[in-house]
Structure 1
Amino acid sequence: MHEWPLVIFTLLVQGSVGLTVFTTWALISASSTLNVKAKYSVGLPAMFVAFIVGALGLMASTAHLGYPLNAFHALTHFGSSWLSREIVFASLYLAVLGLATWIALLKKQVFTMLLLLASLLGLFDIACMSAIYLHASVVTWMHFNTFVMFFGTTLSLGAVACLWVFAIQTRLPMQAVRKFMVTAVLILFGVTLLRLLVQPLYMTYLATVSLSDVVTFPHQPLDAFKDQRVLRLAAWVTLVVGACLLALSLRSGGIRKALLVLGGGLVVVAEVLLRFSFFSIN
């Protein structure tokens, strides 16, 4: 397994995009409840964290692809290469998010339209990132499950990060905070259920591929996939348990921060395990 840079890169960028998406949604949906100062107190920490995490993700990618140093040259292949499109959208996403964060620092105000633009660019980036592997010659990646897993990770990590950001806010109306956090947990449950429902279809596809004796030289992705069955099971169980603990953390009208941290931590661990399994093709 020599793909740790890709594991780190994809998880950090997807987590960054997810946090930006959830922050944008929270600020827009609560526009009538939160004043400018409250939006700033919530939005700035989330934006800053999302920018740092995204930047670290791009830095991690240089250990594998030399990216983003060659991003300028990639522009010439935008029309034909998913990798080039991913580089362009990742760069644009980080640039717009950085600009939004910088303006918020200067103006003491979060401009949600800039955040919305960053969110859209980030989602396009995740789509391009998914397409890179979907169109690769690795049979365990060549299924729409890759899109489901990548976008699922984006929303799962984004929900956890935003839950943690909201949990440390003390100046916001508790009713508004709880409403958002409950909705975020429901989205996390929905995304997890969707990912689990796709797995039988994915396994059927892999069974069909194995019957055709497809070999992806020099890798043995099907053999590696079978060897990772215990790891994947542990990851799915950890993800479900983490989601349940996050739901329990919001019971009784308050926020149980210990359960919130533990549940969110388990979700993060599960995503790392699933991504490790995804890239273990040798």
Structure 2
Amino acid sequence: MHEWPLIIFTLLIQSSVGITLFTTLILISGADKLSAREKHRLALPAMLTAFIAGALGLIASTAHLGYPLNALHALSHFSSSWLSREIVFASAYLAALGLATLIALLTKRVIALLMVIAVAMGAVDIFCMSAIYVHASVVTWMHFNTYVMFGGTALTLGAVSGMWTLAARPMLAWGTVRRLAVMSIGVLIAITVLRLLVQPVYGNYLASLGGADLITFPHQPLEAYGQMAVTRFAAWALLIAGVCVTALSLHTQRFSRLRLLAGAVLILIAEVMLRFNFFSIH
């Protein structure tokens, strides 16, 4: 399948933004009583992970463009092209996150304002990324389900990362850790339910199209969507199982790291399968 660069790119960028979002939430809402050095120890591993994921995602995107300098050409159409806007905001996101990470490495301080700016740029980037496909001529993409799925991936993977940060860096008071973990689990459950609720609406939309897939020749997205039914249902089952296992990793006074890891693996596999299904259009 020739769309693997897009699968890798979208998943890495979205997971990077999600990690940055939940790291920032932990810093702002849970680490106010920590010293600057403790905040640095708490946040730096997640910041490095998010930056590396984002950088690798941008590298993967150039593979899809075919020639890296095409990215420079795409920037000239910012006022009319969602692709140009996506490149600009992805670059702005990575620049803000990279600067915050570099400062943290050099000074052992985390600048929360830079993290907030990075989150804002990342959120706009995911919106632009979604809009690229909603405004494409592939009928299986031209639905608000694309916004829900792309944003849902960022929140899902970000929430799992946030829980792992809380479990791996036990420097916060347990009451604070539990509150943040419950918030992360709540986001996981809520966004999974939302994504599932949208699927019948999306299915009705596809059913109403009839033979509209002919306009996207030589691609046959509706036919491909039907052929991927088993993979799609398996992915949803894995995602639900992963969310449940992740939620069960939180005990009264501790985390079960084994359950948390198992849940994270299941969720990651499900997200890859769902994204593979999204890009399978022929």
TM-score (norm 2): 0.96
Letter in 2 for 1:35: S
Shifted more, 95-104 versus 68-77: the winner is 68-77
Matched letter for residue 54 of structure 1: G
Q: How does 1:68-147 map to 2 (within 5 A)?
A: 69-147=69-147
Distance 1:272 1:172 in 2: 32
Equivalent pair of 2:100/2:111 in contact (CA under 8 Å) = yes
Q: What are the Cα deviations for residues 53-88 of structure 1, in whole angstroms up to 9, with x where unaligned?
A: 110111111211147644433332100000000000
Q: Work out the CA distance in 2 between the residues paired with 1:151 and 1:45.
A: 23
Distance in 2, Cα, partners of 1:9 & 1:211: 31
Unaligned runs of 5+ in 2: none
Match status 1:247 vs 2:255: no
Equivalent residue, structure 2, for 1:196: 196
Instruction: Name the CA shift for 1:266/1:34 in 2 (closer, same or farther; >3 Å).
Output: same
- Map 1:137-216 → 2, pairs under 5 A: 137-210=137-210, 214-216=214-216
Q: Aligned pair in 2 of structure 1 residues 175, 2: CA closer, same or farther (>3 Å)?
A: same
- How far apart, CA to CA, are the structure 1 residues paired with 2:237 and 2:253? 27
Q: Distance in 1 between matches of 2:85 and 2:212?
A: 32
Q: Which amino acid aligns with 1:273?
A: M
Q: CA deviation at 1:213?
A: 6.3
Alpha-carbon shift at residue 211 of structure 1 (Å): 5.5
Gaps of 5+ in 1: none
Structure-2 residue corresponding to 1:17:
17
- Tell me the TM-score normalized by structure 1: 0.96
Amino acid in the other structure paired with 1:205: Y
Worse-matched range after superposition: 156-165 or 182-191? 156-165
Instruction: Report the Cα offset of residue 42 of structure 1.
Output: 1.3
More displaced, 233-242 or 249-258? 249-258
- C-alpha separation in 2, matches of 1:192 and 1:198: 10
In structure 2, give the amino acid aligned to 1:61.
Answer: S
Range that drifts further, 112-121 or 67-76 = 67-76
Deviation digits for residues 174-206 of structure 1 (CA, Å, limit 9, x no counterpart): 222222112111101100000001111100100
Following the alignment from structure 1 to structure 2, what is the Cα–Cα distance between the partners of residues 74 and 186? 39
Kindly tell me: are residues 90 and 67 of structure 1, through their superposed partners in 2, closer, same or farther at Cα, counting changes over 3 Å? farther
Preserved CA contact (<8 Å) 2:159 2:184: yes
Aligned letter for 1:46? Answer: A
Q: What is the Cα deviation at residue 119 of structure 1?
A: 0.4
Give the RMSD, CA atoms, in angstroms.
1.4
